[in-house]
């Protein structure tokens, strides 16, 4: 099984989003030498489903017939997303094979769970389990 994960970027412009989409689809299709081959169809993508590179990646994995694992970095994660993105988030979440949420660490208990901080903490262990880790920086 090939397991890919992304640490993405939110709020991409249309032009940057199109370029990220092109690059992500090349990786998912096995077109980039750094990526393991995906020929057997056993592709799993791990994404936080952010409204940006994560969502582009998640859609590319689903379009390639892969399995999506959604990892939610905060308890009120959906509410922190842009309102116009929530239907896309919901659709991808429903298509995910599994969905997990990280509990806040001891130092964050009792505080509002900042999804940006939680997302950064959450991604590291999940990315470490992946065959290819890709970070989108703009």
Tens of each residue's pLDDT in the chain, 138 residues = 788 888 778 888 999 989 989 988 888 887 545 555 555 557 888 888 888 889 899 899 888 888 888 887 777 888 888 899 899 888 887 777 766 555 544 444 443 444 344 444 444 444 445 444 444 433
Alpha-carbon distances of 85 from 61, 77, 80, 92, 98, rounded to whole Å: 18, 12, 10, 11, 20
Report field, pTM of the whole predicted structure over 0.75:
no
What SS3 class is residue 122?
Answer: helix
Strand partners, 67: 44
Evaluate whether 83 touches 94 at the Cβ level (below 8 Å). no
| Per-residue tokens: 33 | 């030498």
In CATH, 2-135 is 3.40.50.450: yes
Q: Hey, where are the domains in the chain?
A: 2-135
């Amino acid at each position: 099984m090939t397991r890919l994960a992304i640490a993405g970027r939110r709020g991409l412009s249309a032009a940057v989003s199109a370029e990220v989409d092109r690059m992500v689809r090349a990786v998912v299709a096995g077109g980039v030498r750094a990526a393991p081959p995906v020929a057997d169809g056993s592709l799993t993508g791990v994404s936080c489903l952010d409204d940006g590179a994560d969502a582009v990646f998640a859609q590319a994995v689903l379009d390639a017939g892969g399995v999506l694992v959604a990892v939610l970095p905060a308890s009120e994660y959906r509410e922190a997303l842009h309102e116009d993105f929530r239907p896309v988030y919901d659709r991808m979440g429903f298509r995910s094979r599994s969905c997990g949420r990280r509990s806040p660490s001891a130092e964050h208990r009792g505080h509002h769970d900042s999804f940006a901080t939680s997302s950064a903490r959450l991604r590291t262990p999940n990315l470490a389990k992946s065959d290819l880790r890709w970070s989108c920086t703009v």
